[in-house]
């Protein structure tokens, strides 16, 4: 029951002899992933402001929604792009960040964390946390509300968002209000049933995920480290409300399901929506997949709701981010 538009896209990829990332290598895979946005993604919508920033050495991009004014103190989503910790950048996800900003009325700060294999785990985690802390510290000067902050991402970026939410809780440095997790990676063991039932023949394969994992963690990486596998974190209580979106034809489908279930069992508010006829990465592809636009609208609506009311004051700070 794969959506006919998704079937047509897969056929186009086969007819065009599109190679998976592991056949291309990191450099060429990055270029092709970046270039495909021009044919598969919607045109970037107009917004009130985009601004290039830096959190130390980490490039950021601030997007303020259309209709907002510089005098407004906006809630903000700190967003981590997908791409297996290897590919993707601020430009590949610029349209999505603009859509989320306009649809939610919130600002979005996109994070260009360091990529593997040049920078292996936990470099991306360190950058995700440093960027989040920087946005919180500089919120007032950017016209952002430090009391209404969320983290979000897609795929590998959703993995970083989930890890950042746990780390922020443990460090006690801020009270995040929401987490937006789009087909998240949550278990580096890669043994969920969907890795077998949905692991070949669609937009993301189990083999590609294994390649990403090796480049990110290294050959001897610890698959059980919660900073890579948030599903395996022993304590998932006291986390911000989560909206988890998955795709039916995705090897990561079950990881998202299991993570949402564990969040709820731990006493958190967590909502799971699965687009059963879609495949991994579909949210970016609104030019060719109608349901992608619906998914983005749904994410934006959930984000607007999650950041609609001021949070309580931040908890007392602690000295440092937690160790694994």
Summarize pLDDT for 196-251 with one digit per residue, the tens: 999 999 999 999 999 999 999 999 899 999 999 999 999 999 999 999 999 999 99
pLDDT score, position 320: 46
Query: What CATH number corresponds to the domain at position 174?
Result: 3.40.50.1820
Separation between Cα atoms, residue 48 and residue 56, nearest integer Å: 25
236 found inside a domain: yes
Catalytic, 73? Answer: no
Domain count, the chain: 1
How much of the chain, in percent, has pLDDT values that exceed 70?
95
Angle at 77 between CA 223 and CA 282, to 5 degrees: 65
322 found inside a domain: no
219 found inside a domain: yes
Q: For 168-178, what is each residue's pLDDT tens digit?
A: 999 998 999 99
Q: For 246-300, what is each residue's pLDDT tens digit?
A: 999 999 999 999 999 999 999 999 999 999 999 999 999 999 999 999 999 999 9
Separation between Cα atoms, residue 273 and residue 143, nearest integer Å: 32
Q: Mutual orientation of helices 290-306 and 94-104 as an angle, nearest 10°?
A: 50
Longest dimension (CA), the chain: 57
Separation between Cα atoms, residue 119 and residue 217, nearest integer Å: 10
pLDDT score, position 309: 58
Candidate list 145, 154, 225, 250, residue with the active-site label: 250
Residue 324 pLDDT exceeds 50: no
99 found inside a domain: yes
Q: Which domain holds residue 287?
A: 4-306
8 Å CB contact between 169 and 321: no
292 found inside a domain: yes
Catalytic, 155? Answer: yes
pLDDT score, position 127: 98
Residue 313 pLDDT exceeds 90: no
Catalytic, 254? Answer: no
320 found inside a domain: no
Residue 321 pLDDT exceeds 50: no
Residue 319 pLDDT exceeds 80: no
Q: For 152-170, what is each residue's pLDDT tens digit?
A: 999 999 999 999 999 999 9
Residues 206-225: b if buried by 16+ CB within 10 A, e if exposed:
bebbebbbbbbbeeebeeeb
313 found inside a domain: no
List of residues 6+ apart from 166 with CB closer than 8 A: 226, 230, 233, 236, 239
Candidate list 89, 127, 145, 155, residue with the active-site label: 155
Residue 314 pLDDT exceeds 70: no
pLDDT score, position 310: 52
pLDDT score, position 17: 94
314 found inside a domain: no
């Amino acid at each position: 029951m794969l959506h006919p538009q998704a079937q047509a896209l897969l056929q186009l990829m086969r007819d065009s002899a599109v190679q998976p990332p592991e056949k291309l290598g990191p450099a060429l895979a990055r270029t092709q992933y970046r270039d495909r946005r021009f044919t598969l993604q919607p045109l970037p919508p107009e917004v009130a402001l985009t601004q290039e920033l830096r959190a130390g050495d980490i490039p950021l991009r601030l997007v303020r929604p259309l209709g907002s004014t510089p005098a407004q103190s906006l809630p903000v989503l700190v967003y981590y792009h997908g791409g297996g910790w290897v590919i993707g950048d601020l430009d590949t996800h610029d349209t999505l960040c603009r859509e989320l900003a306009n649809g939610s009325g919130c600002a979005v700060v996109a994070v260009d964390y360091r990529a593997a294999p040049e920078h292996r785990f936990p470099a991306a985690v360190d950058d995700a946390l440093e960027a989040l802390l920087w946005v919180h510290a500089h919120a007032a000067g950017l016209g952002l509300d430090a009391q209404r902050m969320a983290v979000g991402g897609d795929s590998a970026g959703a993995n970083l968002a989930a890890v950042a939410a746990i780390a922020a809780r443990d460090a006690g440095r801020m009270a995040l209000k929401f987490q937006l997790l789009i087909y998240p990676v949550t278990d580096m063991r890669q043994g969920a049933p969907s890795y077998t039932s949905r692991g070949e023949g669609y937009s993301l394969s189990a083999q590609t995920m294994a390649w990403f994992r090796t480049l990110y963690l290294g050959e001897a990486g610890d698959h059980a480290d919660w900073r890579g596998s948030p599903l395996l974190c022993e304590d998932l209580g006291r986390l911000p409300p989560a909206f988890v979106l998955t795709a039916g034809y995705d090897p990561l489908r079950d990881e998202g399901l299991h993570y949402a279930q564990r969040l709820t069992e731990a006493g958190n508010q967590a909502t799971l929506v699965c687009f059963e006829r879609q495949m991994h990465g579909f949210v970016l592809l609104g030019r060719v997949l109608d349901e992608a636009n619906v998914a983005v609208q749904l994410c934006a609506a959930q984000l607007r709701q999650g950041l609609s009311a001021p949070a309580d004051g931040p908890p007392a700070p602690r000295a440092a981010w937690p160790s694994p």
